[in-house]
Structure 1
Amino acid sequence: MAHEVRGVIAPGKNEPVRVETILVPDPGPGEALVRVRTCGVCHTDLHYRQGGINDEFPFLLGHEAAGVVESVGEGVTDVEPGDFVVLNWRAVCGQCRACLRGRPQYCFATHNAKQPMTLTDGTPLSPALGIGAFAELTLVASGQCTKVDPEASPAAAGLLGCGVMAGIGAALNTGQVGRGDSVAVIGCGGVGGAAIMGARLAGAAKVIAVDIDDRKLSIAEGLGATHTVRSGENDPVAAIRELTGGFGADVVIEAVGRPETYEQAFYARDLAGTVVLVGVPTPEMRIDLPLLDVFGRGGALKSSWYGDCLPSRDFPMLIDLYRQGRLDLDAFVTETIALDQVEQAFDRMHEGDVLRSVVVL
């Protein structure tokens, strides 16, 4: 049986999104039907709408979601109806070479639901990141459901599904920030703000926030930044070096995804320091660095994909810290909105007015 629900569709490249009636099938083997309670408006959804991911329109947008499992398909044992879950876009296979080597966070064969969700005329929808959660119900692979403490606020918990996890994981997992380290974060939107919070959680002694927007720098201070640098008025490399005794930061997290800010991150780190790229570049972007500098400065240049997280390990742990008052996920929820306000939320995101707008269903 197909369920008729409302969902937010991106019909074509750069076209405004609209709310449509969609058909969501009952779960098949290995699948779960989830009633969505909240879903954050992430920049990745805007990338889909702009055609920056691929051209497989129409898209069913939304992926930073929390909800309750409605029903499960044959063979599903990891979740059951009534479970409160955060959705993830990395359902690990358990069988690929990464999984078999004990590195499931790098699984090379992650998967999604096999059955399509469709428009009422039968047109198949491409769910954003295999989730499609700007909808009252969505169909996912059961491995995309991570059970967490049901007492957690859905609006806050759902943000772990993408941007907040990407930022926290960039600090904790990829950058491996340690106690007493100096950390610089370039770009202080939702992902960069989460990286700041992750660095403080790891015990960093100095966390330097870099952005061109005073509003974001003010928010960054509230999330744990010890120092701020307004890069439109100052050379961020020189400023970071000055704040770290002339040496540069132990870890620099680039949360913008542009060649010029990546170059800043490269030269703002200490010798043998680490650069973490968590900002998402576009396909045409290139970086040109002297190879001798890459060799001579040592250290590590890393990319952080989804914060190198393992949802089954990281989501419950972070929710526990949130419930203990040690991780302020609520700070990322700027506003709550209705399903038909997603297009306006994209405008506010573009203007830098919000960390996250969260759709409440």
Structure 2
Amino acid sequence: MPQQVRAVVAATRDAPVTVETIVIPDPGPGEVVVDIAACGVCHTDLHYRQGGINDEFPFLLGHEAAGTVEAVGEGVEDVAVGDYVVLNWRAVCGRCRACSRGRPWYCFATHNATQRMTLTDGTPLSPALGIGAFADKTLVHQGQCTKVDPRAEAAVAGLLGCGVMAGLGAAINTGEVGRGDSVAVIGCGGVGAAAVAGARLAGAARIIAVDLDPKKLEWATGLGATDTVRADQVDVVAAVKELTGGNGADVVIDAVGVPQTFTQAFYARDLAGKVVLVGVPTPEMTLELPLLDVFSRGGAVKSSWYGDCLPSRDFPMLVDLYLQGRLDLAAFVTEKIGLEDVEDAFARMHQGDVLRSVVVL
């Protein structure tokens, strides 16, 4: 039978979120109901609340989550009742042109649950990134569930569902950071700090954290940065070059996503180095670069979608590294809160006071 549970809903553009009672239908074909244990507060949720993604209000927010499979629909084979899972917003189809060419991390036909969760009056909800996990339970497609080791605390494991995976993957998957490389990360919030951790995990010899905020640089140092640069006090490009023998870094990751930081990243890399854009620009932003500079510097300029991750491959591996003590995912959890605290958590995130607030249910 359909269930009624608590959930955080953004009813209209820029209005404070509220905790409402919502209806979760029984899972249909290919669908799964997950009992949520924890869900991180991501900047993408704030974008939904502000109307920056689309205007399909009301939104059911939350997407960086871990929990336990409670019920499965017809034809579900990937998971079973009782499985401990991290939710992901890239349920690969296995059939599109990217998947058929062996590049499922670029899947062009990712999918979500078919049925809609609703308010008690029947109003359909739009789940954030097809998940909607600021809730006691949620309905997702089976492909959005990735089984991981149940020994990993949900408040930690769930962060792989979005921001932390985006940063780690920007370094490891997109940037292909190698042993002995030099890496600069511009912007050291949640995603940038994760890129620092990913560069360290990959064996980078020098990791340069760049930010305006000394608190974020301190976080980055704790996660593996060897050097820090205050972007408001020095010329970023000159500082990165000075720290890399005058050459520039092998990989520069822009975790901010504005024209100024991308331009800094472009010129702060070594010849034939890589620039990785993982920060998300807004639609009106434009970029102008001399085409000769693009040609003469060589290398690669790449965007990183979700850290170019494949959840079925990357989530279990990263959880295992966390359990082995080789990846400090717990360092990203600044505070644990309740559903009723999400609006205040948005304010703290916007002010740069936290790496991640995590709703614990």
1:85-114 CA-to-partner distances (Å, cap 9, x unmatched) read: 000000011111111111111111000000
Deviation at 1:257, TM superposition (A): 1.1
Give the Cα separation in 1 of the matches to 2:209 and 2:104: 31
Deviation at 1:353, TM superposition (A): 0.4
What pairs with 1:166-185 in structure 2 (closer than 5 Å)? 166-185=166-185
Give the Cα separation in 2 of the matches to 1:112 and 1:290: 41
| TM-score, scaled to structure 2 | 1.00
Give the Cα separation in 1 of the matches to 2:54 and 2:84: 31
User: Hey, what does 1:208 align to over in structure 2?
Assistant: 208
Note if 1:14 corresponds to 2:7: no
User: Hey, what does 2:310 align to over in structure 1?
Assistant: 310
Give the Cα separation in 1 of the matches to 2:264 and 2:95: 39
Write the letter of the residue equivalent to 1:258. V
1:261-284 CA-to-partner distances (Å, cap 9, x unmatched) read: 010000000011000000011111
Give the Cα separation in 1 of the matches to 2:314 and 2:116: 29
User: Hey, what does 1:194 align to over in structure 2?
Assistant: 194
Deviation at 1:197, TM superposition (A): 0.3
Is the deviation greater in 324-333 or in 285-294?
A: 285-294
1:54-104 CA-to-partner distances (Å, cap 9, x unmatched) read: 111110000000000001000001100100000000001111111111111
In structure 2, the residue corresponding to 1:155 is in which secondary structure? helix
Give the Cα separation in 1 of the matches to 2:257 and 2:123: 34
In structure 2, the residue corresponding to 1:344 is in which secondary structure? helix
Give the Cα separation in 2 of the matches to 1:240 and 1:7: 45
User: Hey, what does 1:68 align to over in structure 2?
Assistant: 68
In structure 2, the residue corresponding to 1:146 is in which secondary structure? strand
In structure 2, the residue corresponding to 1:215 is in which secondary structure? helix
Give the Cα separation in 1 of the matches to 2:239 and 2:295: 24
Give the Cα separation in 2 of the matches to 1:94 and 1:309: 15
Deviation at 1:290, TM superposition (A): 0.9
User: Hey, what does 2:87 align to over in structure 1?
Assistant: 87
Give the Cα separation in 1 of the matches to 2:93 and 2:127: 20
User: Hey, what does 1:119 align to over in structure 2?
Assistant: 119
1:200-249 CA-to-partner distances (Å, cap 9, x unmatched) read: 10000000000000000011100000000000111111000000000100
User: Hey, what does 1:148 align to over in structure 2?
Assistant: 148
Write the letter of the residue equivalent to 2:58. P
Deviation at 1:324, TM superposition (A): 0.3
Give the Cα separation in 2 of the matches to 1:236 and 1:176: 23
What pairs with 1:32-111 in structure 2 (closer than 5 Å)? 32-111=32-111
In structure 1, the residue corresponding to 2:250 is in which secondary structure? strand
Give the Cα separation in 2 of the matches to 1:50 and 1:234: 33
Give the Cα separation in 2 of the matches to 1:19 and 1:270: 50
User: Identity across aligned pairs (percent)?
Assistant: 77
In structure 1, the residue corresponding to 2:225 is in which secondary structure? coil
1:257-309 CA-to-partner distances (Å, cap 9, x unmatched) read: 11110100000000110000000111111111111111111110000000000
In structure 2, the residue corresponding to 1:225 is in which secondary structure? coil
CA RMSD of aligned residues (A): 0.5
In structure 2, the residue corresponding to 1:354 is in which secondary structure? coil
In structure 1, the residue corresponding to 2:151 is in which secondary structure? coil
What pairs with 1:196-275 in structure 2 (closer than 5 Å)? 196-275=196-275
1:124-152 CA-to-partner distances (Å, cap 9, x unmatched) read: 00000000000001000001000000000
Give the Cα separation in 2 of the matches to 1:47 and 1:95: 31
Write the letter of the residue equivalent to 2:32. A
Deviation at 1:255, TM superposition (A): 0.2
Write the letter of the residue equivalent to 2:120. T
Give the Cα separation in 2 of the matches to 1:261 and 1:105: 26
Runs of 5+ consecutive residues of structure 1 not aligned to the other structure: none
- Divergent runs of 4+, >3 A: none
Write the letter of the residue equivalent to 1:130. G
| TM-score, scaled to structure 1 | 1.00
Give the Cα separation in 2 of the matches to 1:120 and 1:283: 35
In structure 1, the residue corresponding to 2:229 is in which secondary structure? strand
Give the Cα separation in 1 of the matches to 2:218 and 2:135: 33
Write the letter of the residue equivalent to 2:20. E
User: Hey, what does 1:328 align to over in structure 2?
Assistant: 328
In structure 1, the residue corresponding to 2:295 is in which secondary structure? helix
1:315-352 CA-to-partner distances (Å, cap 9, x unmatched) read: 00000000000000000000000000000000000111
Number of matched pairs? 361
Deviation at 1:179, TM superposition (A): 0.5
Give the Cα separation in 2 of the matches to 1:35 and 1:289: 49
Is the deviation greater in 218-227 or in 281-290?
A: 281-290
1:152-188 CA-to-partner distances (Å, cap 9, x unmatched) read: 0100000000000000000000000000000000000
Give the Cα separation in 2 of the matches to 1:344 and 1:67: 24
Write the letter of the residue equivalent to 1:198. G
User: Hey, what does 2:23 align to over in structure 1?
Assistant: 23
Deviation at 1:195, TM superposition (A): 0.2
